[in-house]
Amino acid sequence: MARNIEEQVAERLGALVDDEIGESFQQLGLVGTVSSRLRRVNAQLHYVGGAPEVAQRLQAQAEAAVGDLGSVSVELVPLDPAGQAELRERLMTPAMLEARSSRTPVFSLPGATTRVIGVSSGKGGVGKSSVTANVAVELARRGRRVGILDADVYGFSIPKLLGLASMPRVIDDLILPPKAFGVKVMSLGFFVDEDTPVIWRGPMLHKTIEQFLVDVLWGELDYLLVDMPPGTGDVALSLQQFLPRSEIFVVTTPQSAAVRVAQRSALAAKKLKLPVRGVVENMSAFVTPGGERYPIFGSGGGAQLATELGVELLAELPLTMALREGGDHGTPVVVHSPSDLASESLRALVDKLESLGPVRRYRGDLKVQSR
123 annotated as belonging to a binding site for a ligand: yes
Q: Would the annotation count 231 as a binding residue?
A: no
CB of 125 to ligand ATP, least distance (A): 4
Q: Tell me: does residue 274 bind ligand ATP (CB under 6 A).
A: no
CA–CA distance, 39 with 26 (Å, rounded to integer): 24
Establish if 136 lies at the interface with ligand ATP (CB under 6 A).
no
Interatomic CA distance for residues 12 and 350, integer angstroms: 38
Near ligand ATP by CB under 6 A, which window of 61-69, 110-118, 135-143, 312-320?
312-320
Q: Which of residues 22-81 bind ligand ATP (CB under 6 A)?
A: none
Nearer to ligand ATP among residue 57 and residue 293 (C-beta) = 293
DSSP assignment of 95-121: HHHHHHHHT--GGGSTT--PEEEEEEE
The CA-based angle 122-233-105, given to 5 degrees, is 110
Kindly state the smallest distance separating residue 278's Cβ from ligand ATP, in Å. 17
Angle, vertex CA 167, rays to CA 177 and CA 55, nearest 5: 95
Is 184 annotated as contributing to ligand binding? Answer: no
Q: Which residues bind Mg ion (CB under 5 A)?
A: 129, 157
What are 351-358's contacts with CB under 8 Å, separation 24+? Answer: 352/278, 352/312, 352/314, 352/315, 353/117, 353/135, 353/249, 353/278, 353/314, 354/139, 354/142, 356/277, 356/278, 356/312, 356/314, 358/115, 358/247
Report the C-alpha gap between 312 and 249 in whole angstroms.
10
Q: Tell me which of 22, 29, 49, 124 binds ligand ATP, using CB under 6 A.
A: 124
Using CB under 6 A, which of 139, 174, 213, 319 touches ligand ATP? 319
Q: Is position 143 annotated in a ligand binding site?
A: no
- In terms of CB distance, is 124 or 233 closer to ligand ATP? 124
270 is known to lie in a ligand binding site: no
Binding positions for ATP are 122-129
Where does this chain bind ligand ATP (CB under 6 A)? 121, 124-130, 152, 155, 157, 230, 282-283, 317, 319-320, 323-324, 327, 342
